[in-house]
């Protein structure tokens, strides 16, 4: 989006391009709080790029800016992902600090929301999936963005996105003193997590919260929280709970609304454990939006659905092969729990298949037929909820009954389990006899 030329901009632009003849000015892309962005041709590489140019700086201020630019370029080079904007170089043109980067032809997400209002679910999910995968790639490199917001997400005409501006990123691999210290609040208040507005050290789950705030705005067409001052907005992040009805009232599917609200939990431990886990959830929901051909077998009539906590086998599963022992997939990252449950089930006549993670379970399910899944909620990587979301998006596996288990049976987790289509929720430490009763109620007694 172009900027109307002004005297200050004209002087700065002329000074900058006169100092660096390598770059040929093509136009102005915009103006931010920290300077101007120009479109230019890199004559040496014969490539169109974008250049961020800050105002004149001297002495300590200039050195600080250059350290930040150097850090941003260094972090960017550690992230290899098609949805992360590439940075090229940084330096000084006279007394003007500058940063060169990939030119992204498109509009920032804030502009898209302003023009379109609430973005349709299918388009929103495509954007959110790409955004979350890009953030997951940064996290895998040990980098927390800390300033995710619509203005830092560019949307190309093709629908592909690019994440910009790692200038405030936190490098979790560093042990030397940082420019930004603990206790100093950084970021944009409308998208900051509760722990971030308090100036506490943040981790990947703060970026998950910011993605939730972006998703809310994308789907509702308005910012989640507004206020006249930083403190008024910060207090809402700390104290105000977002209503799922705000999203569902605008036609957002129930499961997507629940996913967004989980990102926005006040306590980091109640959110998705990682951006990778959130991306898996968005991808599963995105697949559900895709047009499907006619089903091979008709869906069960509503009357056949049992509305109790535990469903009978006949209401969920087709009859198995005579003489075949029912197979239970036991998914838990704790080896002791897996072994204990599998041993107990085998002694009771069932076949039990252990799996140490959500990722492993999804891979195993591509080749292994199972009749019931017993899965822990809190696991590293793809957790129990997201594993089941992916499972439910696969038509050939969507009817497999699921029993969740957790040592933290909080009300919101139990409700969320029901929303994902779980049969029941078991509390750890498991009462093995009670667990066996629920498994038998679903699968029947082994022959």
Provide the annotated active-site residues.
147
CA–CA gap between residue 12 and residue 20 (Å, rounded): 12
Residues 168 and 191 reside in one and the same domain: yes
Predicted confidence (pLDDT) per residue in 235-287, tens digit: 999 999 888 888 988 889 888 998 999 999 999 999 998 998 899 888 888 88
Nearest residue to 205 via CA among 217, 193, 216, 189? 193
Q: Confidence class of residue 296 from pLDDT cuts 50, 70 and 90?
A: very low
Instruction: Tell me the CA end-to-end span of the chain in Å, nearest whole number.
Output: 70
169 part of a folded domain: yes
Are residues 147 and 211 located together in one domain of the fold?
A: yes
Whether residue 252 is found in the same domain as residue 314: no
Beta pairing, strands 96-102 & 87-93: antiparallel
Q: Say if CB 399 and CB 316 are below 8 A apart.
A: yes
Predicted confidence (pLDDT) per residue in 318-335, tens digit: 444 556 789 999 999 999
DSSP secondary structure letters along 80-142: --TTBPPEEEEEEETTEEEEEEE---SEEHHHHHHHHSSPPHHHHHHHHHHHHHHHHHHHHTT
Residue 66 lies in a domain: yes
CATH number for the domain spanning 398: value is: 3.40.50.2300
Q: What is the spatial distance between Cα 219 and Cα 121, in angstroms, rounded to a whole number?
A: 7
Q: How many C-beta neighbours within 10 Å does residue 67 have? A: 11
Identify the pLDDT of residue 299.
43
Q: What is the pLDDT of residue 312?
A: 36
Q: For residue range 23-69, what is the model confidence (pLDDT) as tens digits?
A: 999 999 887 656 889 999 999 989 999 999 887 666 777 788 888 88
Residue partners of 369: CB distance under 8 A and separation at least 6? 327
Same domain, 88 and 166: no
In angstroms, the CA 341 to CA 376 distance is 12
Looking at the structure, tell me whether residues 154 and 266 fall in a common domain.
yes
The C-alpha atoms of residue 248 and residue 261 are separated, in whole angstroms, by: 11
pLDDT over 90 for what percent of the chain? 40
Q: What is the CATH number of the domain that holds 238?
A: 1.10.510.10
- Residues with Cβ within 8 Å of 145's Cβ and at least 6 positions away in sequence, in order, are 135, 138, 163, 166, 168, 169, 207, 210
* Boundary-marking domain end, from 52, 77, 102: 102
Query: Of 289, 320, 341, which residue sits at a domain end?
Result: 289
Last residue of a domain, one of 232, 263, 289: 289
List C-alpha distances in Å: 444 to 51, 435, 436, 437.
67, 13, 11, 10
Q: What is the mean pLDDT of residues 141-161?
A: 92
SS3 285: helix
What CATH number does the domain containing 15 carry?
A: 3.30.200.20
Helix, strand, or coil (residue 381): coil
Residue 207 lies inside a defined structural domain of this protein: yes
Mean pLDDT in the chain?
83
Q: Are residues 129 and 92 in the same domain?
A: no
Would residue 332 count as lying in a domain?
yes
Using CA atoms, how far apart are residues 128 and 281, in angstroms rounded to an integer?
10
Shared domain for 269 and 308, answered yes or no, is no
Structural domain contains residue 1: no
Residue 25 in domain: yes
What does the pLDDT read at residue 33?
58
CB of 272 closer than 8 Å to CB of 386: yes
Residue 297: inside a domain: no
Whole domain around residue 189: which residue ranges?
107-289
In a domain, 296, yes or no: no
pTM higher than 0.75: no
Domains contained in the chain, number = 3
Do residue 275 and residue 148 come from a single domain?
A: yes
């Amino acid at each position: 989006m172009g900027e109307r030329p002004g005297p200050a901009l004209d002087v700065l632009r002329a000074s900058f391009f006169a100092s660096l003849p390598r770059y040929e000015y093509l136009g102005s892309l915009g103006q931010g709080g920290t300077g101007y962005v120009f479109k230019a041709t890199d004559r040496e590489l014969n490539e169109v790029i974008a250049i961020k140019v800050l105002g004149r700086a001297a002495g300590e201020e200039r050195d600080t800016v250059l350290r930040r630019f150097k850090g941003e370029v260094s972090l960017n080079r550690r992230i290899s992902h098609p949805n992360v904007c590439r940075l090229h170089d940084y330096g000084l043109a006279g007394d003007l600090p500058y940063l060169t980067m990939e030119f992204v032809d498109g509009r920032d997400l804030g502009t898209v929301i302003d023009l379109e209002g609430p973005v349709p679910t299918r388009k929103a999910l495509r954007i959110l999936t790409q955004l979350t995968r890009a953030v997951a790639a940064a996290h895998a490199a040990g980098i927390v963005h800390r300033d995710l917001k619509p203005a830092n997400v560019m949307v190309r005409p093709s629908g592909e996105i690019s994440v910009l501006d790692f200038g405030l990123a936190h490098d979790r691999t560093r042990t030397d003193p940082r420019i930004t210290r603990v206790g100093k609040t950084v970021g944009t208040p409308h998208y900051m997590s509760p722990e971030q507005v308090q100036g506490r050290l943040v981790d990947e789950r703060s970026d998950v919260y910011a993605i939730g705030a972006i998703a809310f705005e994308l789907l509702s067409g308005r910012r989640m929280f507004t206020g006249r001052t930083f403190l008024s907005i910060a207090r809402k992040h700390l104290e105000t709970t977002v209503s799922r009805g705000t999203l569902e009232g605008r036609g957002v599917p129930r499961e997507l609304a629940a996913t967004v609200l989980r990102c926005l939990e006040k306590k980091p431990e109640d959110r998705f454990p990682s951006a990778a886990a959130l991306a898996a959830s968005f991808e599963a929901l995105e697949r559900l939006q895709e047009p499907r051909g006619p089903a091979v077998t008709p869906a069960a009539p509503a009357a056949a659905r049992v509305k109790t906590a535990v469903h009978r086998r006949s209401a969920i599963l087709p009859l198995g092969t005579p003489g075949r022992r029912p197979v239970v997939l036991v998914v838990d990252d704790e080896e002791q729990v897996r072994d204990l449950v599998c041993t107990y089930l085998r002694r009771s006549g069932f076949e039990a298949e252990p799996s140490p993670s959500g990722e492993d379970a999804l891979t195993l399910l591509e080749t292994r037929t199972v009749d019931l899944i017993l899965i822990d909620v809190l696991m590293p990587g793809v957790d129990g909820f997201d594993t089941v979301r992916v499972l439910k998006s696969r038509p050939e596996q969507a009817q497999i009954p699921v029993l969740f288990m957790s040592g933290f049976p909080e009300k919101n987790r139990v409700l969320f389990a029901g929303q994902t289509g779980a049969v029941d929720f078991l509390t750890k430490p498991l009462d093995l006899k009670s667990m066996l009763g629920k498994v038998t109620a679903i699968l029947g007694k082994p022959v």
